[in-house]
Amino acid sequence: MLDFDNFPAELASEPIEALLRDLAIVASLVIQVYDLLATYHTEYKYIWRAPPNVVNSIHIFSRYFGIVSQLSVFVFSVVKLSHPNMKETCEMFLALQLLPFHIQLCTLEIILILRVYALYTKRPFIGISLLLLFLAENSLVVFFGWVWSFNNFPFSPNCILSGRPPQVVIYANLALLSGHFSILCMTIVKLSQYTTLRDASGQCPQLIRVLLRDGTFVFFGTFTPWLFFVLYAFFVGTVAHIAIPLLSGTFTILTCRLILNMQSMRSTPPPTDGVALTTCFAITEFQGTATTIPSESNTAAS
């Protein structure tokens, strides 16, 4: 809905919100470009010079799709939103933001799923369960967030989401939260089975500690601000025009960092301090090292 009853007053009260929206878009674009430049040598070594594979393809897609999509959003904002707009234009702008947002979140979730799949030694049952979880979660998001509620989002003349979002949107957010929380729980449960392992120095293997720490960091680092934005939107007022571009850029960077660390771990050990967003697509490559996670058959045999 688009309310023009008090159009002059409403439009005059929005310059700050429109400016914050544009600044959030620019900030998302800048941090993505900065991260690209900061990791260029690592990306060149482990992505561009490596043989093509699914994980590397996900990295290239996520990295450059994120930058191109934010650039498109910025151009649309400058060209189309510099004057009062009709509802169709506002819906087009919202779709231009939400579609990359959802795609980038899906790519991040795929990497996390591959990580869990590897931890469970690529068991078919686990793979099918994770696939069904992914499909069910995103089907609910599409249904509640797009099909059911998209045409009911309230807009101001500057295409700022006004008022509170449709109540049904909370179901889409709960579906996303439940899916990622399930992935985190599966990671913790599996890694907890190996916390009693000790390397030569008597410490818990580094790979186990890093995987557990990073999975927890990605979950809470992603969904803590998300939860804040959602609760703020329902109880105070929507800040989607700020949250969507910032979170979209965050998803892109997390996905690329996870993949870069995953690929670099194949030839170098993970760092000992700081938050290294490390995962491992082929844990069997680490067999014979102090940080090996043994297969379930080996664990049972011992």
Q: pLDDT band at residue 201, thresholds of 50, 70 and 90?
A: low
Q: pLDDT band at residue 37, thresholds of 50, 70 and 90?
A: very high
Question: Of the ranges 69-73, 191-195, 256-260, which one carries the lowest mean pLDDT score?
Answer: 191-195
Of residues 196 and 103, which shows the higher confidence score?
103
Please state the domain extents for the chain: 15-291
Of residues 132 and 191, which shows the higher confidence score?
132
pTM score of the predicted model: 0.79
Q: pLDDT band at residue 197, thresholds of 50, 70 and 90?
A: low
62: pLDDT strictly greater than 60: yes
User: What is the CATH T-level fold of the domain 15-291, as seen in this structure?
Assistant: Rhopdopsin 7-helix transmembrane proteins (1.20.1070)
If you search the block for the tokens 């703020």, which residue do you land on? 232
pLDDT above 90: percentage of residues in the chain: 25
Q: pLDDT band at residue 280, thresholds of 50, 70 and 90?
A: very low
Strand-pair partners of 2: 155
70: closest CA among 105, 20, 111, 27?
A: 27
Question: Of the ranges 82-86, 243-247, 256-260, which one carries the lowest mean pLDDT score?
Answer: 82-86
293: pLDDT strictly greater than 50: no
* Average per-residue pLDDT for the chain: 76
- The pLDDT assigned to 209 comes to 65
Q: Give the span between the Cα atoms of 43 and 27, in whole angstroms.
A: 22
How is residue 85 written in tokens? Answer: 């707009």
- The pLDDT assigned to 12 comes to 44
Of residues 250 and 266, which shows the higher confidence score?
250
- The pLDDT assigned to 301 comes to 39
| Torsion on CA atoms 132, 51, 33, 261, rounded to nearest 10 | 70
29: closest CA among 79, 80, 63?
A: 63
279-286: which pairs have CB atoms within 8 A and are 24 or more residues apart? 279/111, 279/112, 279/114, 279/115, 279/118, 279/211, 279/214, 280/115, 280/118, 280/207, 280/211, 281/55, 281/114, 281/115, 281/118, 282/118, 283/118, 283/119, 283/121, 284/121, 286/207
How is residue 147 written in tokens? Answer: 């099909």
- The pLDDT assigned to 167 comes to 65
Of residues 192 and 180, which shows the higher confidence score?
180
271: pLDDT strictly greater than 60: no
Q: What is the mean pLDDT of residues 89-95?
A: 87
Task: Put residue 122 in one of left, alpha, beta given phi > 0 → left and psi -120 to 50 → alpha.
Answer: left
79: pLDDT strictly greater than 80: yes
213: closest CA among 155, 147, 278, 294?
A: 278
